[in-house]
Structure 1
Amino acid sequence: MNNSVVIKGNKNGIVVVLDKNIEFDELKNCLIEKFTSASKFFENANMAISFEGRKLSDNEEREILDVIDKETELNIVCVIDNDELRQQYFKNAVDTKIAESCAHSGQFYKGTLRSGQVLESESSIIILGDVNPGGKVIAKGNVVVLGSLKGNIFAGAGGDEDAFVVAIEMDPMQIRIGSVIARCSDSTTKSKLKKSEAKIAYVEDGNIYIEKLEKDVLSDIRV
């Protein structure tokens, strides 16, 4: 049996142990074989993933994630960096799609938006920081908060109900998309919105829905 790739799983995620002594192309073939044979165990599962045994470059990690995406129905929601146990981060493919959708016609803002501050954009905007309670963002396009969202957000301010809002920590006071408004309840919404878990808010059938940021959800979003 070829043990160049070993998959260890638990209820929270999977650990992929990689042989450091073989060429990467050979390792990819082993990955394809291993995940193809194990695909039935991962059907539509949402899991975190971590890699051990071999130092991977960003490109190599992306290629491995692409193999997993192609060979299984496993939804990778985050990659854990075992070297420093850093905070969970967006899966590369998801992160790239979000950045591209905003960067093509949007802008970046770096910093924390504090109470009383208002940030306006004529297009989409990516915020590299937090939106604190009392802070407000108004954008004619999409809003992506690469931090904590606890203030007020108005996306699609020109009437675009196809706009969306994404945040690493989604705990807003109010979200408005186009003409649709949703106010988060202290007693119900906060218990449902897990801290440090990327979520997306969008309009469907006249209502605003907030869901975990996953590949299947992104594929339905119009950009």
Structure 2
Amino acid sequence: MDNSVIIKGSNSGITVFLDSEMAFEDLLESVSEKFKSASKFFNNANMAISFDGRDLSAEEEKRILNVISDVSELNIVCVLDENNNMKEIYEDAVKKAIASVDVSEPVVQPVNDMASDPKTACMFYKGTLRSGQVFESDGSVVVLGDVNPGGKVVAKGSVIVLGSLKGNIFAGVDGNENAFVVALEMSPMQIKIGEIIARSSDVGTKITKGRNKTKVIEPKIAYVYDQNIYIEDLEQNALDDICLD
């Protein structure tokens, strides 16, 4: 059995384990054969992907992704880095989101409809937004990383930060006060939803410091209610108040 390429599912998508010794061109062929044989299994699924077992250059990673796209029906929405803790953070966020949502009556919107509707369109940003950096979108945004102080996200839709939010978030910039902001760690300098603004003195979270103190990161959601921005734990009762119209 050829074990040069092994595909394993995870809560964040799939992880592809690559042989560390095989010549890259031979490995590329193995990737092609493995994903070609699994093509029907993916069936146009939208997934995150990560690579393990072998250090890849940017060019090698790009070539592997191109091969996967050519031979399979898998839609890769983002690439997660196995060399940092983003994968664990992403998985924890997915687990908590699944646990907090009542899925007895799911609402499913076709991908084609989502792509044509700016209100439901979503862009992914992988990495850390540092001071002075701005990421803008005509729809919603998912940041796979941190937004540092001085970093900024500007979106017509909602913003989800799978990391620490310590910068500035402008959601619903076209006046949409139904937009919301979610972060694994919510410590923003400023949040603006629609025309409502809250600064760090209004929404800052308390941080426990001291010896033998453990900082627990709890996902939180910020939304507008009665012309004020409220920040709550990301739980079902908070999600029930969200309107996506």
Q: State TM-score, norm by structure 1.
A: 0.55
CA contact (8 A) 1:170 1:195 kept: no
2:232 aligned with 1:211? yes
Per-residue deviation, 1:185: 1.7
Per-residue deviation, 1:91: 3.8
Q: Which amino acid aligns with 1:172?
A: P
Q: Which amino acid aligns with 1:176?
A: K
SS at match of 1:145: strand
CA contact (8 A) 1:117 1:136 kept: yes
The aligned counterpart of 1:92 is 98
- The Cα offsets for residues 59-85 of structure 1, whole Å up to 9 and x where unpaired, read as xxxxxxxxxxxxxxxxxxxxxxxxxxx
For residues 122-141 of structure 1, the aligned pairs below 5 Å read 122-141=138-157
The aligned counterpart of 1:7 is none
- The Cα offsets for residues 24-65 of structure 1, whole Å up to 9 and x where unpaired, read as xxxxxxxxxxxxxxxxxxxxxxxxxxxxxxxxx96xxxxxxx
Q: Distance in 2 between matches of 1:94 and 1:127?
A: 21
Q: Distance in 2 between matches of 1:164 and 1:131?
A: 16
For residues 58-77 of structure 1, the aligned pairs below 5 Å read none
- Name the CA shift for 1:113/1:95 in 2 (closer, same or farther; >3 Å): farther
SS at match of 2:201: coil
- Name the CA shift for 1:185/1:206 in 2 (closer, same or farther; >3 Å): same
CA contact (8 A) 1:126 1:144 kept: yes
SS at match of 2:237: helix
Structure 1 unaligned segments of length 5 or more: list them: 1-56, 59-85
Per-residue deviation, 1:189: 2.7
Structure 2 unaligned segments of length 5 or more: list them: 1-9, 12-87, 209-214
CA contact (8 A) 2:126 2:145 kept: yes
Per-residue deviation, 1:191: 1.5
- The Cα offsets for residues 154-179 of structure 1, whole Å up to 9 and x where unpaired, read as 00001100100000000000000000
2:129 aligned with 1:110? no
Q: Distance in 2 between matches of 1:110 and 1:96?
A: 28
The aligned counterpart of 1:153 is 169
**Residue 120 of structure 1: which of 132, 136, 143 is its match?**
136
SS at match of 1:109: strand
Q: Report the identity percentage.
A: 59
Q: Which amino acid aligns with 2:196?
A: V
SS at match of 1:216: helix
Per-residue deviation, 1:190: 2.9
SS at match of 2:150: coil
Q: Distance in 2 between matches of 1:125 and 1:95?
A: 20
- Name the CA shift for 1:105/1:95 in 2 (closer, same or farther; >3 Å): farther
Q: State TM-score, norm by structure 2.
A: 0.50
CA contact (8 A) 2:186 2:204 kept: no
2:206 aligned with 1:191? yes
- Name the CA shift for 1:221/1:119 in 2 (closer, same or farther; >3 Å): same
SS at match of 1:167: strand
Per-residue deviation, 1:216: 1.1
SS at match of 1:127: strand
2:189 aligned with 1:173? yes
Per-residue deviation, 1:93: 4.8
